[in-house]
């Protein structure tokens, strides 16, 4: 393919990706009340009845201080929800864009690439959802009992979205490493030789990605990423052995 053909192909993949995100956003806009209840559940677990009173309802509401905030919050939920729903399409478009540069034997990994990508992103999001109440509990308690925590929708939902994206992206880490080994950009010996630096780099990256900054969240994401790093080395080693057997 010429440079112009690559640009035309890139434009087509981007248009399909944008369209899929828009369709997902419309679906999330319609399902917004149920999505909001789902996103509020971690906050409700931590907050309980500690706020109470007529001003704050039953202690599980978010405090709106801007008349435009409800609309912006619904737009944010729809946008990020559409992005999450379109993950399979986005991964497929990425694969279709790089596939012309791969050998035929490498193109057979298309379905596993998309399938594992969706599975890993979902697992990361689920782990983030599970860890959010614990992160919130730490952040709300560290200030002392004299501080009453009542969050605005934009602040709270932004926190939840950033946590989910950070965990989702973090869980895609092994997929990238395995893919780079399959196309012979990396070798498992290289990953093994830089393991010490990788450990430090992973912990530093998690500290930057996670918005809470609490030690619990840092640990709960760093440990899976370190395990994924070792798993990527094992997968690369097994693939290298099978390739040598086939060659012999």
Domain that holds residue 130: 3-240
Is residue 58 assigned to a domain? yes
Is residue 103 assigned to a domain? yes
Distance CA 197, CA 229 (A): 12
What is the reported pLDDT for 23? 95
Is residue 17 assigned to a domain? yes
What is the reported pLDDT for 55? 46
Write out residues in the chain with pLDDT < 70, as ranges.
1-2, 48-59, 102, 106, 212-213, 247-248
Is residue 185 assigned to a domain? yes
pTM: 0.79
Is residue 208 assigned to a domain? yes
| Two tokens, residue 199 | 């450990």
Is residue 247 assigned to a domain? no
pLDDT (tens digit, 9 = 90+) per residue, 172-196? 888 888 878 877 777 788 888 888 8
φ, ψ for residue 154 (rounded to 5)? -65, -45
Tally of domains in the chain: 1
What is the reported pLDDT for 32? 92
Is residue 171 assigned to a domain? yes
Is residue 248 assigned to a domain? no
Distance CA 136, CA 129 (A): 11
From 11, 185, 17, select the one nearest 101 (Cα to Cα): 185
What is the reported pLDDT for 241? 82
Q: What is the largest CA-CA distance in the chain?
A: 77
From 181, 1, 243, select the one nearest 99 (Cα to Cα): 1
Distance CA 160, CA 212 (A): 10
Burial class (CB in 10 A: 0-12, 13-18, 19+), 241: exposed
């Amino acid at each position: 393919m010429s440079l112009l053909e690559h640009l035309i192909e890139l434009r087509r993949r981007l248009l399909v990706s944008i369209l899929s995100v828009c369709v997902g956003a419309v679906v999330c806009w319609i399902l917004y009340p149920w999505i909001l209840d789902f996103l509020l559940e971690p906050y409700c677990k931590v907050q309980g009845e500690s706020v109470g009173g007529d001003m704050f309802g039953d202690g599980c509401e978010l405090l709106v201080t801007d008349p435009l905030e409800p609309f912006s919050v619904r737009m944010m939920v729809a946008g990020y929800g559409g992005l999450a729903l379109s993950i399979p399409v986005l991964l497929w478009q990425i694969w279709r864009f790089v596939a012309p540069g791969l050998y035929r034997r490498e193109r057979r990994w298309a379905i596993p690439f998309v399938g594992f990508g969706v599975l890993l992103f979902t697992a990361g999001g689920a782990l983030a959802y599970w860890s959010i109440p614990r992160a919130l509990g730490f952040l709300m308690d560290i200030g002392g009992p004299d501080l009453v925590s009542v969050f605005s929708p934009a602040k709270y939902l932004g926190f939840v979205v950033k946590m989910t994206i950070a965990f989702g992206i973090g869980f895609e880490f092994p997929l990238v490493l395995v893919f780079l080994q399959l196309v012979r950009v990396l070798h498992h010996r290289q990953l093994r030789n830089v393991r010490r630096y990788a450990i430090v780099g992973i912990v530093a990256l998690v500290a930057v990605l996670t918005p809470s900054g609490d030690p619990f969240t840092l640990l709960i994401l760093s440990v899976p990423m370190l395990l994924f790093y070792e798993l990527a080395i094992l997968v690369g080693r097994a693939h290298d052995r099978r390739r040598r057997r086939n060659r012999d």
